[in-house]
Amino acid sequence: MTVGSQLNVYLDRARGDLVAARGHFLARWHESRPFRWIVSLFGAGVVLAVAAYYAIGAGLPSADKLLTYQPPLPTMVRGIDGEIVNSYARERRVQLRYVDFPKQMQDAFLAAEDKTFWTHGGVDIGGLFGAVVDYASKIGSGQRAKGGSTITQQVAKNILVGDEYSITRKLKEMILARRIEGVLTKQQILELYLNEIPLGRQSFGVQAAARAYFDKDVKDLELHESAFLAILPKAPERYGRARYKDMAIARRNYVLDQMVRNGWATEAEAAAAKAKPLGLVPRRVTNYDPAGGYFIEEVRRQLIARFGEKAEDGPNSVYAGGLWVRTSMDTEFQRAARDALRAGLLRYSAGKGWGGPIATIDMDDNWQTQLIVSNLAVDYEDWRVGVVTQRNGSRAKIGFTDGSEHPLSNLPDALKAGDVIAAAPKGSDEWVVRTIPTVSGGLVVENPQTGRVLAMQGGFDSRLGSFNRATQALRQPGSTIKPFVYATGLDQGMTPATLVTDGPFCVWQGAGLGEKCFRNFGNEGGAGQQTMRWGLEQSRNLMTVHIANDAGMENVTNTFKRVGIGEYGNYLSFALGAGDTTVARMVNAYSALANLGRQYEQSVIDYVQDRNGKVIWRADKRRCEACNADKWDGKGMPRLKPAGRQVLDAGTAYQVVHMLEGVVTRGTAVRLRSLDLPIFGKTGTTSGPTNAWFVGGSSEYIAGVYLGYDQPRNLGGYVQGGNTAGPIIKQLIEDTKARWPTEPVRAPAGIRMVRIDRRSGKRVFEGWPTNEDKPATIWEAFKPDTEPRRSLDRQTLEEKRVAAIAAIKAAAEERKTRAAGPRRIDDNFLEEQGGIY
């Protein structure tokens, strides 16, 4: 018989069987009512199942989304040297590739969660049946049914569906699991699962969990440790706790037995693993150096403003976008800045008594949780932050976040239960009250050649409060603003040797307001005609006001605006620092001086990369198109355009720097002279005094600091910028001295160095400058054709001419004043106008 004829025989036989079956079905249908009910119910069930499938599945997300799925990842922050210095994360997440997961780790999870993973099509029928039985047995008990979800279904739940407890969710899981199996390979599904599964201790994925529970990478885990991680999906917040240790060991050993049963481990290996303790490390936070707290928080603020905070804000959000951020933070300078400012705050606060608690909490059985949630801490020596749990006369106890309580001594009278304080250990168990300074301040270090901020300290410790006094505290800058008044005078034709009157200066404001008069620090009288240099070195208010008036106050405030200090009205009190500004702005303004008038935009972030490494933002926005040419075009090498902008004349900037060097060698900042470095700078003390300042540095580094109370009040009559702020910058420089240049700022083209008499400003033709503290002859910097003339006779005639013009002006003013009526003198003008020393 041929193959064709044999096939025809089979087909005829099948048709006959089908006709017979149809006949049998119809006969049963007509003869038996129960049969008709059973068939009808079955058909209705099928229809309903199909309808439910399409109804539930119609609104589900596409499994194709998993092909481009981007998990939420933390933002990693690097310092200027490329080392990781911090991260912004609310969850522990580390993404690995499938090949990075050890087979032992994979087998442990498959043994615990889905032993038929490699063979099923997304749904395990046997496991599903068991879950249905478990669900039915727990109806009405309030307990949650377990089991039945394959790894593919868990991927659907974790990424696409959510964790709602319902039959509908389980059906959605099953539908999506089938779809996922048609889109992704088994390896891709397992990779997603092992990277996304929540495993407790704020960790998602096995790598993050390995670090959280064992402080190891997955490749270094032993068999018993892999088995422990595999039990966590069932109850991640239970098995990691000490009180459930026995339950965790029993479940871990069960997983090991399953691995043996499936041939993924030998009995000997499992026995050895069972003999091991859990070996969990204590719960811990990521250990980054807290020295950069204020700097890191400023970076976070800027990133959130630019990219958003949460995943809903965009693909590059701070807490989900997986950004890589390169900052300009120099860890050496940052630690030095923190230590120097702290030392200055403690030095000022020494002997002033306890300043009160850091915070207060309600004392109840939950004090430990309240203390943890407050997130207050201090990183200074061996100090810790705790709460006073008891106070009975001369006895007290302090409690810490670990729940421990200890005796507390050195008790201030005002100390009471509920006060959150700092304390230091004394002996084996006793603790002693320590005082966090109530005075505060801010310090910034910047590279003037780039505008990059190298260090930023905004208070005693960022974990005591996030308010950053380096960038957010608006304070009067005092005499630190004077160099820019002098720069305006130089732009208007004056020279460092120009004689300026250090004498009374009054402003007649009309019959209603009377006459307002300025004065020098300490109500000192005037010193007569003195050079501009001497006036800046000695910080003479009256000379500064004369210069501002002669140069034009509008020109002065325009200078302030150009260098970024602030925008102020055209009032003479602003020439003495009465307007508000920040340390960061003042440091950036002085950077323009150090860089010969060219100023760069201040930055704490160099560039930002997305999770794939693409640069999505950079501080230096210059482009060099010709740099990408395929071949040389025969022309000169392409170069980037100069960055920044010229905000001051180069010659003017250098003349101011040269005078400010004198402030350090023989002026109000002479305490820094012992550094034996070419440092320039200016002190400042605001009226009260309420703030003490110093800003200055070198050609490569500019540092600025202020010290004062957050709610301004008198610091004490002895406080000046030179004796309070200057030593802070001095310590900063001493701690980083090897980094500071030994060459002074170089003069720009055209500047002429001329020997002059330091006090009179006259040109000297005999003798040379010396290294004495206050030499009679010094080198002075002049712009072309502005130096004192060589002829002494001509110089004398010029001085007489200037004096005669001044006398004529004074007489005219006197006549005008007499015509206006009697004068009312107000010697308190400085205080009323926020006047500055």
Active site residues: 113, 479
Say if CB 289 and CB 85 are below 8 A apart: yes
What count of Cα atoms within 13 Å lies in the side-chain half-sphere of residue 373? 8
Q: CA geometry: angle at 737 spanning 732 and 741, to 5°?
A: 115
Q: How far apart are the first and last CA of the chain?
A: 122
Q: How far apart are CA 378 and CA 341, in angstroms?
A: 15
Parallel, antiparallel, or unpaired for β 430-434 and 405-409? parallel
Burial class (CB in 10 A: 0-12, 13-18, 19+), 245: middle
441 touches 348 (CB < 8 A): no
SS (H, E, C) 41-54: HHHHHHHHHHHHHH
**Side-chain-side CA neighbours of residue 464 (13 Å):** 25
Residue with tokens 């304070």: 475
Phi, psi torsion values for 771, nearest 5 degrees: -95, 20
Sheet architecture: strand order including 453-457: 453-457, 440-446, 702-708, 692-697, 680-685
Q: Which two tokens stand for residue 276?
A: 């091991």
Residue carrying structure tokens 């990183």: 379
Question: How far is it, in rounded angstroms, from Cα 87 to Cα 94?
Answer: 12
**Residues ≥6 apart with Cβ < 8 Å to 97:** 191
Tokens representing 760 are: 């009179």
Peptide bond into 689 cis (omega under 30): yes
In which element (H, E) is residue 217 found?
Answer: none
Nearest to 837 by CA among 729, 721, 708: 721
Query: What is the C-alpha separation between 78 and 813, in angstroms, rounded?
Result: 62
Cross-strand bridge partners of residue 763: 756
Q: Can you list the alpha helix ranges (DSSP code H) found in 595-649? A: none
- Residue 619 to residues 98, 326, 604, 643, 824, Cα–Cα distance (Å): 36, 10, 9, 11, 55
- Residue 388 CA to residue 416 CA, distance in Å, equals 7
For residue 354, what is the DSSP state? -
CA torsion sign for 176, 177, 183, 184 is positive
Backbone angles phi, psi at 491, to 5 degrees: -65, -25
Residue written as token pair 């200074």: 380
Contact 395, 372 (CB under 8 A): no
**Residues 6+ positions from 201 with CB-CB distance below 8 Å:** 92, 209, 212, 213, 236, 240, 283
CA angle (741 as vertex; 737, 746 as ends), nearest 5 = 155
**493: part of which helix (H) or strand (E)?**
none
**Could you give phi then psi for residue 397, rounded to 5 degrees?**
-130, 150
Q: How many CB atoms lie within 10 A of CB 492?
A: 13
Strand partners, 420: 359, 387
Q: CA-CA-CA-CA torsion for 129, 131, 133, 138, nearest 10 degrees?
A: -170
